[in-house]
Amino acid sequence: MTVSLVATDYSRPLQPIFEQEPRAGTIHSVFHKAVNITLDDTILALLSDELPRMPNSVRLPSIGAGDLLPQLRPGMEVWIGDGRLLIPTRSFLLHLPERPAWEPRPEISAHLWRREIVARHVRLLALYLADQAQQGGLALLIRPLLLERPAPDSPLSRMALPKLRMIAQASWRQDITGIEDATRGLAGLGPGLTPSGDDALGGFISIMMLLSPQLSADGASRVYIANTIAATARPRTTALSAVLLAHAACGEVAEQLGTLLLTLTLPAEAPEAVLNAADHVLAFGASSGGDTLLGILLGLRTLEGELN
């Protein structure tokens, strides 16, 4: 008997994939509450709705996810199209809901952006991140990058730190060669299925794409830098990372990241909402959240034009 469920929600960029004729994909990787599915040149994430929305996600009710996901294996066939997702070997059918898709691009233009307020939030978040002691990733490089404090010494930080400095400086100067060089040193660097370097790049890209028109101190948009970074990183990292970087280059980010960006418009005198949103970003993965926040803060500081 086929088990049929209605998805909790789905991300807008997936709409065309679901609207076309059904096509076969395969299960790429299976986790406790998430399954990645390869289809053509992209990867979709089938998530339990206990997890936050991703730009490439379809979420299903947690009770259904708890039953289904443990039965799935890498390599299993999945059919997607006609508004449905079918896993034949498990007789499982997922329909998209009637309501509109979730929009992963935050509504930047609906808010008033003030450089001095954002700068104060950046300073606060840098201090907050510096004290988080994230495991294994790059987050603590916030100390030398933004706070002029010593860097933790490890082979990973020794490789990443000069490249992070380089990407900030090259992005400010709009030096494409420098941006590509720094990206090649960061893409695929570090532990995890989305390596730390990619998470930091993802945060940085999202700032260049979404906020450089509003916040660049010299008034120049740096939107094109996002595409340069994503394209340079693509052949040098995991397929999942490359897909998420491509989404970031379109301004499409995870739910908790979009929420954090919008809190940067709130008054600097009441930082609780900003820190609370940062907590949700930090909670993502073992080190991914801290790495992403590092990239965001580096991107925002780059736009201030003071890192040169």
Partner 1 sequence: MVIRALLKRNTYYDSITLMSVAQAAKDLPGVEDIGAVMATEVNLELLLNANLMPTAFLAEQQTSPGPEDLLIVARAIDESLAEAALAVAEERLSSRAERGAPSSTETLPVRSLEMALKRDEAANLAVISVAGEHAWLEAEQALRHGLHVFLFSDNVPVEQEQRLKILAANKGLLLMGPDCGTAIINGIGLGFSNVVSRGSIGIVGASGTGMQQLICLIAATGMGVSQAIGTGGRDLSEAIGGVMMRRGLELLANDEQTEVIVLVSKPPAERVAHEILAAAQITKPVVVVFLGTAAERFASEAGNAHMARTLTEGAELAVSLAGGDRTRVPGKDTLNKYDLEAERAKLEITRVASKAPQQFIRALYSGGTLCDEAMLLLSEQVGAIASNIPLRPEWTLTPGETFRGHTALDLGSDEFTRGRPHPMIDPTLRLQYLARAAEDPETAVILMDIVLGFCAQQNPAAVYAPAIVQAREKARDAGRSLPVIISLCGTEGDPQRLSMQRTALEAAGALVYESNEVAARAAALLVSDAIHQAEEVHHD
Q: Which is nearer to partner 1, 178 or 271 (CB)?
A: 271
Q: Which is nearer to partner 1, 6 or 63 (CB)?
A: 63
Write out the binding residues for partner 1, residues 243-272 only, by CB under 8 A: 271
- As separate numbers, helices (DSSP H) first and strands (DSSP E) second, the chain gives 12, 9
Retrieve residue 193's tokens. 């299925």
Mask: binding to partner 1, 62-81, rule CB under 8 A, as x and -?
x---xx--x--xx-------
| Minimum CB–partner distance for residue 20 and partner 1 (Å) | 26
Q: Pick one of 191, 214, 227, 307: the residue that binds partner 1 (CB under 8 A).
A: 191
Which CA distances in Å does 70 have to 64, 81, 232, 302?
11, 23, 35, 43
Q: Which is nearer to partner 1, 151 or 223 (CB)?
A: 151
Retrieve residue 175's tokens. 């030096």
DSSP string, 172-227: HHT-HHHHHHHHHHHTT-SSTTTTHHHHHHHHHHHHHHHHHHHH-TT----HHHHH
Q: Pick one of 61, 81, 83, 136: the residue that binds partner 1 (CB under 8 A).
A: 136
Which CA distances in Å does 276 have to 44, 112, 135, 257, 289?
28, 21, 20, 12, 13
Say which residue the tokens 């490789």 belong to: 159
Question: Under the criterion CB under 8 A, does residue 159 sit at the interface with partner 1?
Answer: yes
Residues at the contact surface with partner 1, assessed by CB under 8 A: 28-32, 36, 50, 62, 66-67, 70, 73-74, 124, 127-128, 130-131, 133, 135-136, 154-156, 158-159, 184-193, 195, 197, 236-240, 271, 275, 279, 282-289
